[in-house]
């Protein structure tokens, strides 16, 4: 649980760094703009979380999965993030299964990609 | 030798994102996979927003108003409208209120709601 209110905000410095990396060199970001972006990102986390929990409910499940996050993107009109996110999920699952098979030689069926359409 | 851990490619702190996610009353546990994806998509989101906002900038400075403009113009960013409002100056605010009052007076001179309304709206407007 969050103990302080600041815990519910994403760190300004990190948000600033992410943005700086993608904007042309030499661009500066005003303090207010940085704060605004960090706030927007924090609220976005909640927005996505809430959309994803709706997907979970819709499937009558309890636990939130990566697939729910993916599906939620279309519900909140962020289809443009679905593809990069799907790739990220794939990579993530590969990394997890690589780690698992390295640790113990065991096949895990649940780490296979599940292709689902809405 | 092995593929880099996907978490390592993220910039935002997973722990903070987790705290925010768990602040939602409907969420009690967040597994590593959804946490990874939410963090990832939040980074994509912030990059996307910043890039679009920067298009509104005429010099090499990204300012608050550029972000506010994107937010107010894109319907899919409706959820941010109260968080990132367009800022107006006190002068603009007074003019707006004067127009509102004038309109209310001409529409219905017996109603005097416009002066009450202005008090709660004034909190949202800040001087630039």
Residues in chain B within 8 Å Cβ distance of A26: 60
Check CB contact under 8 Å for A14 and B51: no
More confident residue, B4 or B106: B106
Which residues are bridge partners to A28 per DSSP?
B61
- Ordered DSSP codes for A20-33: HHHSPTT-EE-HHH
Average pLDDT, chain A: 87
Q: What is the pLDDT of residues A64-86, one digit of tens each?
A: 999 999 999 999 999 999 999 99
**Cα angle at B85 between B64 and B21, to 5 degrees?**
90
Which residues 6+ apart lie within 8 Å of B28 measured at CB? B22
Q: What is the pLDDT of residues B20-77, one digit of tens each?
A: 999 999 898 999 999 999 999 999 999 999 999 999 999 999 999 999 999 999 999 9
Task: Please provide the size of chain A in residues.
Answer: 118
- Reply yes or no on whether the pLDDT at B112 is more than 60: no
Interface of A with B in 69-108 (CB under 8 A): 69-70, 73, 76-78, 80-81, 84-85, 88-89, 91-96, 98, 102
Check CB contact under 8 Å for A30 and B61: yes
Closest residue in chain A to residue B47, using alpha carbons only: A19
ipTM: 0.83
Report yes or no: B98 at the A interface, CB cutoff 8 Å.
Answer: no
Which of A12, A34, A36 has the highest number of chain B CBs within 10 A, making it the mutation to test binding with B? A36
pTM confidence score: 0.79
Report yes or no: A52 at the B interface, CB cutoff 8 Å.
Answer: yes
DSSP H helix total and E strand total for chain B = 5, 1
Dihedrals φ, ψ of A28, to 5°?
A: -110, 155
Please state, in angstroms and rounded to a whole number, the distance separating the CA atoms of residues A60 and A96: 26
Please state, in angstroms and rounded to a whole number, the distance separating the CA atoms of residues B26 and B34: 15
Check CB contact under 8 Å for A45 and B38: yes
Q: What is the pLDDT of residue B126?
A: 47
- Reply yes or no on whether the pLDDT at B15 is more than 90: yes
Q: What is the pLDDT of residue A71?
A: 95
Confidence band (pLDDT; 50, 70, 90) for B116? Answer: very low
Residue that has been written with the tokens 């605010």 in this structure: B93
């Amino acid at each position: 649980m969050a103990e302080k209110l600041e815990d519910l905000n994403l760190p300004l410095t990190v948000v600033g760094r992410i943005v700086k990396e993608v904007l042309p060199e030499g661009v500066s970001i005003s303090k207010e703009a940085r704060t605004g972006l960090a706030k927007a990102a924090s609220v976005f986390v909640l927005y996505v979380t809430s959309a994803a929990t709706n997907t979970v409910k819709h499937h009558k499940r309890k636990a939130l999965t990566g697939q729910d996050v993916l599906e939620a993107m279309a519900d909140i009109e962020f289809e443009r993030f679905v593809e990069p996110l799907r790739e990220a999920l794939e990579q993530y699952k590969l990394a997890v299964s690589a780690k698992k098979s390295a640790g113990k030689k065991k096949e895990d069926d649940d780490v296979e990609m599940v292709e689902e359409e809405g | 030798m092995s593929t880099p851990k996907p978490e390592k490619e993220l910039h935002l702190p997973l722990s903070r994102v987790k705290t925010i996610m768990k602040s939602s009353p409907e969420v009690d546990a967040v597994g590593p996979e959804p946490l990874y994806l939410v963090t990832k998509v939040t980074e994509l989101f912030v990059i996307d927003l910043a890039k679009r906002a920067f298009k509104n900038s005429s010099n090499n400075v990204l300012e608050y108003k550029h972000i506010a403009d994107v937010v107010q113009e894109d319907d899919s960013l409706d959820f941010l409208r109260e968080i990132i409002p367009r800022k107006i100056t006190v002068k603009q605010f007074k003019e707006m209120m004067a127009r509102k009052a004038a309109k209310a007076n001409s529409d219905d001179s017996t109603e005097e709601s416009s002066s009450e309304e202005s008090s709660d709206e004034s909190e949202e407007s800040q001087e630039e």
